[in-house]
Amino acid sequence: MQDELIAIKGHKDGLLISLSPTENWQSVADQLASRIDDRADFFAGAAITVELGARPVPKYELSSLKALLERRGLSLSLVLSDSATTRESALALDLKTDANIRTKATEKQETLPVDPEETGTRGVLLRRTLRSGRTVHSEGHVVVFGDVNPGAQVIAAGDIIVWGKLRGTAHAGADGDESAIVCALDMSPSQLRIAGYIATSPADKRKHVEPETALIRDNQIVVAARRKSGKG
Amino acid sequence: MGGKVVTITSGKGGVGKTTATANLGISLANLGKKVVVIDADIGLRNLDVIMGLENRIVYDLVDLVEGRAKLRQAMIKHKKFEQLYLIPAAQTRDKMAVSPKDMVELADKLREEHDYVIIDSPAGIERGFRNALEPADEVLIVTNPEVSAVRDADRIIGLIEAAEKGPGRLIINRLKTEMVNKGEMLSADDVFDILSLEIIGIIPEDEFVLSASNSGVPVTLNEGSRAGMAFTNVARRITGEDVPFMNLDENPGFFKRLMRFLDGR
């Protein structure tokens, strides 16, 4: 059995099926069909998320995949893809893709907040100053033990914590998580983004620098000093 | 391993790399060191002009690398200092004519007989910069107290660190004390705050520098010039001497001087 063509995993909303992005489409589809038929009771009624990776899937192929699943009583609920072609196909078939999760970020029920307690949550710790021109991307949280200089960029799906001066650009909740926060010892970013919101630092120099936290409240980014007591 | 290779770079153009190279070369020679300065800005050579050696060029860096000239033939002796030589850049070629490996080989040959090899890097972060960086034992980053120059310096420092040539030391060039005092120019502290790099020299704005560059007699030979003095101090710091930073206030008033005296400074 060619296991590497297909991987099937449990998923919070049903089943996640990852299809090899390089193998011949027909053999991948055939194998998927036989895997489902082998264990029909396991699959019965599940909502399916398909992960297609970088493979560009034209509309007719995606449509046949959808039909293949529907014939077996399964619904194709979400298409995950890195390819613009595939996303267009999904859009044409009125299927949800990860792209429209990103654009519909404001609809609360569609975003999956990154749970900091969750095991396996990814994060990056950088023990250095990020200088101009440096960009850091992470699908989890980012902690910078150092400064983020003007011209440097930190983009994280989760939270961003800067143990130092934040003067570059920070984008927390980059996949649409509006509960993401940004903290810094000296919060003066050239631009601050959380999910779909953007803010810039006030132009005037502050005399008193203290650790601050930025978060979304009432549909805008607010920056607040950390309170000393546990209250509030 | 013999002499030390010092590369002077900046990222942004026009901040005073070539002026710094010429002045540090001359200051080090003046301190009795054997020095070679190399102009790595192939295609846009300037260092020869600032050092007043333009009319003596026969062979250049590319001739040397491509084997048309022997090392001795491409080294131009300075008019005043017997122990100071220049290897000029080629005017007609571009940066691709020389590779980082060529520069390492050349620097290794030169450090056998000289105390310091100073390389003037071109602006930018491409091949020319890589050529100048590769053989470096120490990197000096020149910047001006202005936001764009500091931003580029920051970028270049990141690249220097990535190439494991870091951390480097900083020369802040063309500082105008009166503008800093009025809050119109970044101060040395502001620059340090962003770059967090050791400062090896602060060079005040000085009109002597321009006339000196035009006449080919670098400002460090002018004893009345404050910029010249500052460059000499940098050269002494390069040799490992501990030189206090000079006071850059143009005309400190009596009161200020008194305060400073009382402060014990």
* pLDDT tens, position by position, A132-160: 999 999 989 999 999 999 999 999 999 99
Residues linked to residue A184 through DSSP beta bridges, in sequence order: A162, A212
pLDDT band, very low/low/confident/very high, at A228 (cuts 50, 70, 90): low
pLDDT greater than 80 at residue A205: no
Where helices occur in chain B by DSSP H, the ranges are 17-30, 47-50, 61-65, 71-74, 100-110, 127-133, 147-162, 177-181, 188-195, 207-215, 226-238, 254-263
DSSP B217: -
Nearest CA in chain B to A133: B155
pLDDT of residue A119: 56
B chain contacts of residue A130, beta-carbon cutoff 8 Å: 158
Q: Which residue has the higher pLDDT, B75 or A225?
A: B75
Per residue, what are the HEC states of chain A?
A: CCHHHEEEEEECCEEEEEECCCCCHHHHHHHHHHHHHHCHHHHCCCEEEEECCCCCCCHHHHHHHHHHHHHCCCEEEEEECCCHHHHHHHHHCCCCEHHHHHHCCCCHHHCCCCCCCCCCCCEEEECCCECCCCEEEECCEEEECCCECCCCEEEECCCEEEEEEECCEEEECCCCCCCCCEEEEEECCCEEEECCEEECCCCCCCCCCCCEEEEEECCEEEEEECCCCCCC
Q: Which of A131, A150, A167 sits opposite B158 (nearest CB)?
A: A131
Confidence at residue B142, expressed as pLDDT on a 0 to 100 scale:
97
What count of Cα atoms within 13 Å lies in the side-chain half-sphere of residue B57? 22
- For the residues of B147-163, what is the DSSP string, one character each? HHHHHHHHHHHHHHHHT
Helices (H), B139-225: 147-162, 177-181, 188-195, 207-215
A129 touches chain B (CB under 8 A): yes
Beta strands at A212-217 and A220-225: parallel, antiparallel or unpaired: antiparallel
- Assess B148–A contact: CB distance below 8 Å, yes or no: no
Flag whether residue A134 sits within 8 Å of chain B, measured between CB atoms.
Answer: yes
B152 contacts A134? CB cut-off 8 A: no
**Separation in Å, CA A73 to CA A33, A42, A63, A94:** 12, 12, 15, 18
Is the separation of the CB atoms in A150 and A190 below 8 Å? Answer: yes
Q: pLDDT-derived band of residue A120, with 50, 70 and 90 as boundaries? A: low
CA distance A91 to B83: 74
Residues B165 and A164 sit within 8 Å (Cβ to Cβ): no
Per-residue pLDDT at B227: 93
The answer to whether B151 contacts A167, with C-beta atoms less than 8 Å apart, is no
ipTM attached to this prediction: 0.74
Write out chain B's pLDDT in tens, 265 residues.
689 999 999 989 999 999 999 999 999 999 999 999 999 999 999 999 999 999 999 999 999 999 999 999 999 999 999 999 999 999 988 889 999 999 999 999 999 999 999 999 999 999 999 999 999 999 999 999 999 999 999 999 999 999 999 889 999 999 999 999 998 999 999 999 999 999 999 999 998 898 888 888 888 888 889 999 999 999 999 999 999 998 876 555 555 555 556 665 4
Q: Are A133 and B194 an interchain contact pair (Cβ–Cβ within 8 Å)?
A: no
- Give yes or no for A149 touching B (CB within 8 A): yes
Q: Please check whether residue B2 touches A, CB under 8 A.
A: no
Report d(CA A162, CA A187) in Å as an integer: 9
Q: Kindly determine whether residue B154 and residue A167, on different chains, have CB atoms separated by under 8 Å.
A: no
pLDDT at B250: 58
**CA distance linking residue B120 with residue B36, whole number of Å:** 11
What tens digit of pLDDT does each residue of A176-204 get? 999 999 999 999 999 999 999 999 888 77
Would you tell me which residues 17-56 of chain A have a C-beta closer than 8 angstroms to some C-beta of chain B?
Answer: none
Q: Give the pLDDT score at B48.
A: 94
User: Can you give the pLDDT at residue B254?
Assistant: 57
What does the alpha-carbon distance between residue A141 and residue A7 come to, in Å, rounded to a whole number? 27
Residue-wise pLDDT tens digits, B176-203: 999 999 989 999 999 999 999 999 999 9
A151 in B contact zone (CB under 8 Å): yes
Question: CB contact, 8 Å: A132 with chain B?
Answer: yes
- pLDDT tens for A70-102 read 888 888 888 888 888 888 888 888 888 775 444
pTM of the model as a whole: 0.68
